[in-house]
Chains A and B, each alone.
Chain A
């Protein structure tokens, strides 16, 4: 084996022991069977009932273990996501790692003036182009909540912007079934038809239960629609440990796992074999401020547990990276974002979102995108591990150079030095050269890079008739909603 880590054994980080994984699985199954869930959706309740779940006079549906087992047996262990050009782009399986942004932040933090303001469509378009330009970011989400669009049209308008400003695969938030249907139609316009889109999925749909243990109507409705159309989907809540889930990491894992599995059961009953992403997040409640906070060590631990469970279940995994609780792009933001990105990569989380979230998800920070692009570049190099073939063990080179010699002039160095990790963002000059270049901090260099992307980068455009088709879908939705 040349690289231990590419097979998930060497560099990978495991949070739980096999025994702990079985304990957690068993505890989650007990929750589904003994505590039950409340299902606010008739079709889903009916699917569960016909499959053998029991609904008591208390309104709770109790799900037996056999249903979980059956769902795990039919759910696919891998998903390929395609880009807008129809090319396979992300392989969600084993410990492959991919990174992307988040959705719907409330506040746009202007990287050049520091101004905080609501997002406009032009800001979202530009932010999406920045993600498209950065080579180490793999997928896009809607970035910011549009303040210049009719409230009922926000998700649709966001999706049109995603299609127009990036070719990268997408993760999509949609408020209801009608919105998903319009988004699916827009995606189909770009992907060459609905059947082509089902075969080559361009986006993942984000759905969530309401913790603790409730399946709201809209979420389940979307989950069923996704199953029907084979749109990859998750059922991942953002836990608030100490409020919506137990305060302990293990307790949150047990409940999160129960809720995700419950979503999986409904999903697989609707359409066995439809693609499902397993995951959950945690922003524990700070018991001083009553704020749900991002990127604390507990959140990283929870993600590690869920990645281990995902591999145990052979399901692709969903998680977080590159985000934090800081209010501005400062040292705390860098610490939190970098820790989450590195840990998520080591945990082997397949699809990590929320890169660029600060203020625990309320604010979107473009500087974090550029920073995390650099962090991911470092992390990907790490994950490759160490090549130990004879050419790399370099005994011949050591022989040539010999005691007291210098490798700088050897052919082995010339042959391989370009394989070393390199950066255009970090500074490796001596002090004098750095000072002569203007004593620029990392933050300054990041903003310069942002400026350069914003001024010069243009994403691959949509074909003009596809763009017209998408605008037509938006217009018809607007008319239908009476906007």
Chain B
């Protein structure tokens, strides 16, 4: 018989298989699915966040923990029967048209997912219409755009203009990032926020959602 405490430790250890097995055992033994999520899986990932901040854990370990947590949550959700598990916020995100670079954007996605955000990933080379369509369809809290090339940066402004034209600009916060993106540029194009790295992007999203 697994305990909730053991499950917390398995999440911290980033042991995906271990978390799956322990979650199954707990559920089969009659444990409440929501209790498994709220008293083991979430506290586990929260502890990972604390250890990361203190410099004891590093991003790749955090990723493994997040995967482990998600695997556990999936199993618990099956028991609840499709009920929504509340997310910290919803983010539509993509690398803008003309830009094939997605390493930075994917890092932000992984970090956001680890912090409980739900993500709609538009991938790379995403045109303004694609952003508009996704905002209409998913009604996110935030829109995130990434560009590595100075030549594709102006597309960010086009996306903001497209959102304004469709009357959607006020329904979302727009954040931007990528190596050449600066705070000045953020202000220039009228975005709501900018983060110099993936860790800061998570903090920024949390601030903007609250």
Interface residues of A (CB under 8 A from B): 40, 104, 106, 145, 151-152, 154, 175-176, 210-211, 214, 216, 240, 242-244, 247, 285, 287-291, 362
Contact = CB atoms under 8 A, between A and B. Distances in A.
Give me the 5 closest cross-chain CB pairs, A-B, nearest first. Answer: A287-B58, A290-B198, A243-B103, A175-B151, A210-B100
Interface in B80-115: 100-101, 103, 106-107, 111
B22 to A, nearest CB: 27
A291 to B, nearest CB: 6
A106 B198 CA distance: 20
Contact of A210 (B59, B101, B150): B101
B86 to A, nearest CB: 27
A323 B206 CA distance: 35
Interface in B109-130: 111
A216 B100 contact: yes
Given A152-B151, A175-B149, A216-B100, 10 more contacts: A106-B180, A145-B180, A151-B153, A175-B151, A211-B103, A243-B107, A285-B59, A287-B58, A288-B55, A288-B58
Given A210-B101, A243-B107, A244-B103, A290 B59 contact: yes
A247 B154 CA distance: 33
Contacts of A152: 151
A285 B111 CA distance: 14
Contacts of A104: 150
B39 interface: no
B190 interface: no
B150 A151 contact: yes
A447 B30 CA distance: 74
B203 interface: no
Contacts of A210: 100-101
Interface residues of B, number: 21
Contact of A290 (B149, B151, B182, B199): B199
A244 B101 CA distance: 10
B103 A287 contact: no
Given A145-B180, A243-B107, A291 B150 contact: no
Nearest to A212: B103
B151 A287 contact: no
A145 B150 contact: yes
The listed residue with most A CB atoms (<10 A of its CB), out of B60, B149, B151, B179, is: B151
B5 to A, nearest CB: 28
B59 A287 contact: yes
A471 to B, nearest CB: 23
B32 interface: no
Nearest to B60: A287
Nearest to A247: B60
B197 interface: yes
B162 to A, nearest CB: 19
Nearest to A245: B103
Nearest to A152: B151
A291 B200 CA distance: 11
13 contacts: A40-B100, A151-B151, A151-B154, A152-B151, A175-B149, A175-B150, A210-B101, A214-B100, A243-B103, A243-B107, A287-B60, A290-B197, A362-B179
A290 B111 CA distance: 10
A304 B190 CA distance: 45
B181 to A, nearest CB: 10
Interface in B168-184: 179-180, 182
Nearest to A219: B100
A154 B180 CA distance: 14
A76 B199 CA distance: 46
B182 A106 contact: yes
Nearest to A362: B179
Contact of A240 (B103, B149, B153, B198): B103
A210 B104 CA distance: 13
A206 to B, nearest CB: 13
A247 B58 CA distance: 14
B155 to A, nearest CB: 12
Interface in B148-167: 149-151, 153-154
Contacts of A40: 100
Contacts of B107: 243, 290
B59 A288 contact: yes
A243 B63 CA distance: 12
A290 to B, nearest CB: 4
Nearest to A176: B151
Contacts of A362: 179
The listed residue with most B CB atoms (<10 A of its CB), out of A154, A211, A243, A247, is: A243
A289 B180 contact: no
